[in-house]
Amino acid sequence: MFTVIRSFSGVPGLADELTKRSKEVESMMTTITGFVAYYLIKTADGIASVTVCDTRAGCDESTLRATNWLRANMPDLKTGAPQIISGELAFKFSNYKTTSV
């Protein structure tokens, strides 16, 4: 499995805007071949998103789709390119029974 983290700073309201459109983001991401999970993190001055896919190609596709979606759906968004960290997932674990998101 592979993971990509995209971090945008200097856009404090972006998380709220994306949350309002979460169903659109979900529809866009879940159709990627090998998609596993997507998380949006609200930071002090922007967002970080985490995408997990079975392959690197899926993560690359998620970055392309996210970029194109932001350009098409939020054309007035003033932000630079995100910081991107990507790589092979070394290990994972979760306890979804206790989450409330």
Tens-place pLDDT, residues 35-89: 999 999 999 999 999 999 999 999 999 999 999 999 899 888 888 788 999 999 9
Nearest to 50 by CA among 2, 93, 97, 17: 2
Tens-place pLDDT, residues 6-44: 999 999 889 999 999 999 999 999 999 999 999 999 999
Enumerate domains of the chain plus CATH numbers. Answer: 2-90 (3.30.70.100)
